[in-house]
Amino acid sequence: MSLEIKVPPVGESISEVTLSKWIKKDGEYVEMDEVIAELESDKATFELTAEAAGTLKTIASEGDTLEIGAVVCSIEAGAGGAKPEADAANETIEESSAPSAPSSGGTESLEIKVPAVGESITEVTLSRWLKNEGDHVEMDEQIAELESDKATFELTAEAAGTLRQIAKEGDTLEIGAAVCKIEKGSAGSSPKSAEASPAQPPAQSVSDRSSSYAAGTPSPSAAKILAEKGVEPSSVSGTGVGGRITKEDAQKAEAGKQKTESTKPAGAKPEVKSAPAAPAQAGNRQERREKLSALRKTVARRLVSVKNETAMLTTFNEVDMKPVMDLRAKYKDKFKEKHGVGLGFMSFFTKAVCEALREFPAVNARIDNEEVVYSDFADVSIAVSAPKGLVVPVIRNAESMSLAEIEKAVLALATKARDNKLSIEEMTGGTFTITNGGVFGSMMSTPIINAPQSAILGMHNIVERPVALNGEVVIRPMMYVALSYDHRIIDGRESVSFLVRVKQLLEDPARLLLGV
């Protein structure tokens, strides 16, 4: 009897899949519910299982695009789906030669699944395994990194035992999908490497630490620091568990390198390099490819969507920053002494924006289907360049905050962004965005709206330029500012007036205190 295996429904919006890989070959015997192939859609990868035991007859080929319900293969049940005699004989031999199971019972397996990480997140990418296949892990130990379109999360072991990986690095997994299994039959026993032979000399057990899977492997934060310093992990000795390179090891790496160089004997000959670095790179035409991260793909998709779906325009103006700079120079020391945080430009711009939003509520609104949603509060999003891409954390109710409170909020969010510790809640929402390209030296730009918001303010670098003031040419620190807005909801009069109001408040900071 032959049973056809068809492409199952895998989602409401998915109409076709690609047969990416055959796990079982044509003519092989398969058990019921055994994984026989991998199917891939534009959103995730799925496993195709056998619906009966028997001999597999493949119909589709790897790389074929199949519609939902299309026939992938058939299974010949044969004599009641019995396992071939050769296989049964081999299994009998294996069973007889296998060591007897412990008296305490068989190995218990715990499946670790993708946890729910936010209301709007339906899938994540397994960016990196922190533990290897077969490693012993402790309960609550970090075993993998999961990356969504908004943030990076750490997956921890829910029990102690041996790790059995199911998903691979780069796989896209839906919420609730199985990532790995923890075999906890040994009930938290030590790793296999600890089961050394009694005849083995003690020196060998000491070297186990350097040969451990973790030896020379940096933690996520340490890897970031080493990459920024340009230091190879192999040149750093780890002090963490199993020889893992910790954040402290990475921070000391550069200093240790310089100290080693400075303590060389005066008469020692310098190291002779085989070839200068520059000539070695001359004529190098190699290319390398890296898979786009989930965050980068989402940013790209949303930016293109905004360009295509909004009537985006940009209006420009310039701000004389001397009044703000004079105010900062006069009070920055007292400000930091009292509030414990520096006085920067972002707090002045945020405060000025909040005042202007009260006068021009359309700039703080958004379009929802056929309705305009006006917000009586100002949740200001601050664009921050994080190690894995641009993130936009939100300062809630910025209109009711003081300059010191805004500075503290900006510092806290920026620190979390650099350490990849921003939560979904901290990046969700926002009614208006401020981005500062000036920190990178940008003179002028046209920022793209952060959907579903309707406007974004772009700050730029401050340059001393000659300007006409009261009939005289004077040198002033000037900044170009840009407001990109959705013309469907914000008229030209409102956008220009809004930017002029921000300019007035910054050029006369006393207005921020008096509300005039």
Strands (E), 279-375: 312-320, 366-368, 371-373
Q: Which amino acid is at 229?
A: K
Pair 28, 56: CB distance under 8 Å: yes
Catalytic residue among 208, 376, 487, 508: 487
Q: Quote the CA–CA distance of 133 and 213 in Å, as a whole number.
A: 10
- Cα-trace Rg, the chain: 31
Could you check whether 109-188 and 311-514 share the same CATH topology? Answer: no
339: annotated active-site residue: no
DSSP code string of 226-247:
HHHHT--GGGS---SGGG-B-H
Catalytic residue among 87, 333, 491, 508: 491
311-514 CATH choice from 3.30.559.10, 1.25.10.10, 3.40.50.300, 1.10.3720.10: 3.30.559.10
109-188 CATH choice from 2.40.50.100, 3.90.1150.10, 3.50.30.40, 3.40.50.720: 2.40.50.100
**If you count DSSP H runs as helices and E runs as strands, how many of each does the chain have, helices first?**
12, 27
491: annotated active-site residue: yes
Pair 19, 72: CB distance under 8 Å: yes
- 3-state per-residue secondary structure call for 386-424: ECCEEECCEECCHHHCCHHHHHHHHHHHHHHHHCCCCCH
- Per-residue model confidence (pLDDT) at position 264: 46
φ, ψ of residue 444 in degrees (nearest 5): -160, 140
- List, run by run, the mean pLDDT of 10-residue segments along the chain (516 residues): 83 75 90 85 74 90 87 77 48 44 59 76 82 87 80 81 88 86 63 43 41 59 70 76 69 58 46 49 80 75 86 95 93 92 92 95 92 94 82 92 93 86 84 91 92 94 93 95 95 95 93 74
Q: Quote the CA–CA distance of 246 and 224 in Å, as a whole number.
A: 11
The number of angstroms, rounded, from the C-alpha of 358 to the middle of its chain's C-alpha atoms is 35
- Per-residue model confidence (pLDDT) at position 219: 64
Q: Which residues on neighbouring strands pair with residue 218, listed in sequence order? A: 245
Pair 448, 456: CB distance under 8 Å: yes
Structure tokens at 75: 């299974």
- Per-residue model confidence (pLDDT) at position 204: 40
Which residues have C-beta within 8 Å of that of residue 259, sequence separation ≥ 6?
none
Strands (E), 290-362: 312-320
Q: Quote the CA–CA distance of 93 and 89 in Å, as a whole number.
A: 6
DSSP code string of 245-278:
B-HHHHHHHHHHHHHHHHTS-TTPPPP--SS-HH
Q: Quote the CA–CA distance of 396 and 160 in Å, as a whole number.
A: 40
DSSP H or E segment with residue 455 = strand 455-459
Give 283's DSSP letter.
Answer: T
How many beta carbons lie within 10 A of that of residue 412, not counting itself?
14
Counting every residue, how long is the chain? 516
Q: Quote the CA–CA distance of 281 and 177 in Å, as a whole number.
A: 45
- Per-residue model confidence (pLDDT) at position 347: 93
Place of tokens 């008296």: 103
- Cβ-based burial of 76 (10 A; exposed 0-12, middle 13-18, buried ≥19): middle
- Per-residue model confidence (pLDDT) at position 270: 47
> What's the CATH fold of domain 2-97?
OB fold (Dihydrolipoamide Acetyltransferase, E2P) (2.40.50)
Pair 450, 431: CB distance under 8 Å: no
Place of tokens 């070839």: 275
The Cα-based distances of 105 to 2, 96, 135, 258 in angstroms read: 39, 18, 22, 56
Structure tokens at 257: 């390198």
Per domain, the residue ranges of the chain are 2-97, 109-188, 311-514
